[in-house]
Amino acid sequence: MCGITGIVSRSIDPAKAQEALRSMNDAIAHRGPDGEGTWNNEHAYLGHRRLAIIDLSDAGKQPMFSYDGRYVLVYNGEIYNYKELRLQLQRAVQGTNERPYFFSTQTDTEVILAAYMRWGKDCLKYFNGMFAFAIYDKENRTSFIARDRLGIKPLYYTLKDDTLLFASELRAILRSGLVEKKVNREALPDYLQYQTVHAPNTIIEDVKMLLPGHFLWFENNELAEHAWWKAEKNVNYESEGKSYKEICGDVKNLFYSAVERRLVADVPFGAFLSGGIDSSAVVGAMTQVASQKVQTFSVVFDEGEFSEAKYSRLVAQKFGTDHHEIKLTPQNFLEQIPEALKAMDHPSGDGPNTYIVSKATRQAGITMALSGLGSDELFGGYDIFKRSYKLEKQWWLNLAPRLFRVPAGFALKNFNRTVSAQKIAEIISKPAINFNYSYPVSRQVLDTSSVKRLLGRSDLPMNSVYRFLRLLDFNDKGHRLSKYSLAEMGTYMQNTLLRDTDQMSMAVALEVRVPFLDYKLVEYVLGVHDKHKYPHTPKKLLIDSLGDLLPPEIVNRKKMGFVLPWPVWMKHELKELCEHNLANLEEFGINRQEINNLWNSFLKNDPRAGWSRVWPLVSLGYYKTNL
């Protein structure tokens, strides 16, 4: 796990490019405290920051060159099946021009180079892992830049005239001095609605995020983007015709294999353990396949209202882990919030929790940790799965003409001031009552009318989540739940959860691995019929697949997560910070009076102005100040 930077250009002044590359590398020093490296010729400038996880020797230094010196690679991530691929690439294939590759290191980095030399762009199909990398061909002057299937590792880029810049973090591109720090005003509606900006757009004008499962090809000053993997096009339907017991067996095997693959490391590692289903499943599987005692880490509080300690202790005791409780008070949390904001690479309404947990884990001596992220999206862990399934069965709601539904929605908004009522009112006012229209509303932080008022606009660009669903080419007959999973993974998970996890964990040089997002497991579960996957009980398919692995107390506990006194903090200890950063939003063209109205409504405990609707604006204002 590392950070990468790069500049490819035929016209840039060499001294200017080298200075820009140094600044870019310095901007992401936190991602790689174990070393750095740069390389350049007259057209390409590549940089790397190293967090050593596999092969800690100097042999793992980057940029790395192929044995013939033609290709140069910078890479961020892990290829979990690199040992199998290494053996395959060491063998020649009779009757073809595929010759053996002569390895000089034990790294997965060199396996990427060898795979590219043998299979070209198709090498991506062989990798099981999380990655973002760039390969420069010195002979043909081409650049191949790719991102993993599910978007676990980030990659930002921009093309200005004939100069291509790319990096693991947005701040590195901005630090280059070659890109104007100009806010993308067309992305503001997206951010205000969803506390994030959906890829390929970012909060910065002309800087994009490479989509998951895509690669860039840069040749002769022309940049082309191609999709090499899409979840909806790679669904595995092998479960069709199998019994439920057989399907559960398949899921168990795939999950255990995913966990085992992610235990390859030459540094101390462990797992986050909240005591919920997801983290407990990961820890349970780790203890079954690991060759050493598993270390687990839980953030606990003395206050029973906030603490999940009894659940994490129960799991740790069952599996005999080397358990570490990291005690924090709400005051500890509060004191670190400004630090978490400073670590933010792209504005987000979430993230401080991840930063503080990651920091505590890193300080305990752990360099790599496994997380249960992705389970809710894959196994229907959110309430929205049930709600959406029931809604789509109520087709008769569409018999009422929209002419009557719109005023009914307006009346509901005025009669019931709760957030849920406001969302129902917006949904019944849509052209149709179905998933494509309801899901974008369900995930909104601020409703459309609020965003229009804040921006002083009578209309907004097409909703990003709605656009995603319109373009989703997936036959959901018998697989509606899989469609909901695709929606969750393609929007909220990729653009909020994964981005926040990367930027906040790497801010403290901690690598986080996510076994539930192993692509083989994802492809299989997406192909399971609704009748086997419907969550009559929380994540039923996952729980049944694990058998008696988890204690009943964990399976049947109420979903909790971090419950902290954010509303209290924002009205007292964080009030000055909030008001200062909200004032900065006027520079974005956001209406000051509407900001004040929202803030005052929050202070008066208006249910339509909860803290989670105000905090993303505070975060955006902080980002503007520190841009």
- Residue 117 Cα distances to 73, 105, 216, angstroms: 12, 16, 17
* Residue that has been written with the tokens 């090809």 in this structure: 217
Q: Residue 19 has which token pair?
A: 């200075």
Q: Which residues contact 234 (CB under 8 A, 6 or more apart)?
A: 519, 523
Helix (H, G, I), strand (E, B) or coil at 235: coil
d(CA 54, CA 460): 47
CB atoms within 10 A of CB 91: 11
DSSP-assigned beta bridge partners for residue 300 = 327
d(CA 372, CA 282): 6
Q: Which helix (H) or strand (E) covers residue 99, if one does?
A: none
Give ∠ CA 10-15-19 in degrees, rounded to 5: 105
Q: Residue 539 has which token pair?
A: 């994540």
Helix (H, G, I), strand (E, B) or coil at 374: coil
Backbone torsions φ then ψ of 73, nearest 5 degrees: -125, 140
d(CA 433, CA 319): 47
Residues in the chain: 627
d(CA 92, CA 553): 54
Whether residue 2 lies in the annotated active site: yes
Q: 3-class secondary structure for 275-310?
A: CCHHHHHHHHHHHHHCCCCCEEEEEECCCCCCCCHH
Strands across the sheet with 129-137, in order?
Answer: 64-65, 71-79, 129-137, 142-147, 214-219, 222-227
Helices (H), 70-142: 82-89, 108-119
Burial of 121 (0-12, 13-18, 19+ CB in 10 A): middle
d(CA 150, CA 276): 23
Sign of CA dihedral 482, 488, 491, 494: negative
d(CA 384, CA 491): 14
Distance of CA 424 to the CA centre of its chain: 28
Give ∠ CA 364-369-372 in degrees, rounded to 5: 130
Whether the CB-CB separation of 252 and 541 falls below 8 Å is answered with: no
Q: Which residues contact 415 (CB under 8 A, 6 or more apart)?
A: 421
Rg (CA), the chain: 24
Whether the CB-CB separation of 50 and 32 falls below 8 Å is answered with: yes
Backbone torsions φ then ψ of 511, nearest 5 degrees: -90, 130
Determine the residue type at 212: P
d(CA 18, CA 190): 35
Q: Which residues are catalytic?
A: 2
